[in-house]
Amino acid sequence: MPFTYKRTVYLADTDAAGVVYFANVLMMCHEAYEVSLATADISIKALLNNLSIALPIVHSRANFFRPMFHEDELLIHLSSQLLNDTEFEVVYTIVAASSSQQHLAEAITRHVCINPTSRNRTQLPEAIIKWLS
């Protein structure tokens, strides 16, 4: 499911050098993920209140190509892929929102559906499968 999230870099996103702190890139990507779920009418609150499933991130990776600074306008392009009946991956491409669309960073998160009590894998909920398609 392709999705684009527009995000401004805030001062709190940056480090002492005025560049986006590396961990905050994953935070921004996670914001894009949350907004994409909400746009698809998936309630994160309902997912969190469902005591039979949890969707932890089991792997993440980020690559940085250009620095991002306070007040930069970003576009975070998100695409998701079903890996199997218990796992999916989200790929994020971060570009400048300006006309140059300069490639700034990319990230990946991999999510696994588990039963939070047993910690065993379980099938992804139908809403997530629908969001992935």
Tokens of 15: 């480090």
DSSP the chain: --EEEEEEPPGGGB-TTSBB-HHHHHHHHHHHHHHHHHHTT--HHHHHH-TT-B--EEEEEEEESS--BTT-EEEEEEEEEEEETTEEEEEEEEEESSTT--EEEEEEEEEE-B-TTT--B-PPPHHHHHHH-
Q: How confident is the model at residue 29 (pLDDT cuts 50, 70, 90)?
A: very high
pLDDT in tens, 80-90: 999 999 999 99
User: Which residues are tagged catalytic?
Assistant: 15
pLDDT attached to residue 123: 97
**Cβ neighbours for 43, distance < 8 A, ≥ 6 positions apart:** none
pTM of the model: 0.93
With a cut of 90, say whether residue 133 has pLDDT above it.
Answer: no
pLDDT attached to residue 51: 87
Share above pLDDT 70 across residues of the chain, in percent, rounded to a whole number: 99
- Going from the N-terminus, what domains does the chain have, and what CATH number goes with each? 3-132 (3.10.129.10)
pLDDT in tens, 98-119: 888 899 999 999 999 999 999 9
Share above pLDDT 90 across residues of the chain, in percent, rounded to a whole number: 89
